[in-house]
Amino acid sequence: MSPDFFSLDSLLSKEEKATQSLINKFVTKSLMPTINEHFQAGTFPKDLIPEFGKLGLLGATIKGYGCPGLSYTTYGLMMKEIERCDSGVRSFISVQGALAMYPIATFGTEEQKNKYLPKMAKGELIGCFGLTEPEGGSNPGAMTTKVIKDGSDYLLSGKKRWLTNGSIADIAIIWAKNEDGKVIGLIVDLGLKGITVKKLDAKFSLRVSYGTEMQFDNVRIKPEQVLGVIGLKGPFSCLNIARYGISWGVVGAAEACYLEALDYSLNRSPFGKPLASHQLIQAKLVTMFTEITKAQMLAYHLGRSMDQGQTIPPQISMAKMNNVSEALKIARLSRDILGANGVTYDYHTGRHLMNLETVNTYEGTEDIHRLILGQHITGISAY
């Protein structure tokens, strides 16, 4: 049972509790039994994608077009349950909903919405998101990927890196600079001529997630594939939704590590009494317990704020920065309590630890979010 020291559960509606319980049971039954095998093999449980759709996990907060239209708080609870299993699985769902479906729902035409969103909500059409480039990630305004007019069409050229889901995706939301130097968004059919897709397998972390690099060589894009937004507000609005989901998701990973360490310390007695009876172990467990409680409260209140339309981006930055950082520290403490066993596939902590190293980097590094908050506090940009 997840720690709930301040009775957060009592603040949830019956519908929110029911949805969380449904996803919890799905994760326990269908994801947990094979997740370490998938991580070791570097594979994603693709057979479960239709189930993600049936459970309302894909594009959860989008209303209409076959999408669930759930609250942001409900979505957050769902992400917590998914990441209790693995950050890579949550990454798949986050990218599909927040980074691929959300820009179509927010900036797309009715034709685009009707064409893509119903199939994406069912998991019949997979999307990915291309903003980061090989030479830099924290400054997307310096992107070199270009799109130029060619008659009524556009020609897209450049390279993107770290497109989660890219090697199994059907479409990509690609952000590129037009001839005026303005950033625009494109819905790119990945079956078009001139696209090279390279799966990035050599990685220690997020092995269940398919990271990808894409090269675009004069790819012809029809005008009806252009999204109705200009500037970095387009991709940044998508990232804010993804960061919100992360702030909830990592609480699930932290809870999983804590519960594994607690169980281990209660049942292992190398000195004739349980590890949990030692002061140093209890101190570590209390630190984990406390930081989880604080992260839960931050995620919950951010979710309610999102539901009321009152959130500002720096609040999302604080939640992403704090919750991921603390989850990573909790995973390290759990690994320490588990000793050498913590790096084996007999347990889940080591996998969470490696995954959270990446989650602490993507969707804005911890330092970038500190700078966002610093600018909010002082009014001075330190970029």
Helix, coil or strand: residue 175: strand
Cα distance between residue 178 and residue 287, in whole Å: 50
Tell me, what amino acid is at 344? T
CB 81 within 8 A of CB 24: yes
Residue 9 vs residues 13, 27, 232, 259, 300: alpha-carbon distances, Å:
9, 19, 37, 18, 10
DSSP 11-49: GS-HHHHHHHHHHHHHIIIIIGGGHHHHHHHT---GGGH
Buried b (16+ CB within 10 A) or exposed e, 158-191: bbbbbbbbbbbbbbbbbbbbeeeeebbbbbbebe
213 is catalytic: no
Pick the closest to residue 147 from 181, 109, 172 (CA basis). Answer: 181
Residue of 15, 357, 363, 366 with catalytic role = 363
**Kind of pairing, strands 153-161 and 146-150?**
antiparallel
Long-range contacts of 376-379 (CB under 8 A, 24+ apart): 376/312, 376/314
Active site residues: 363
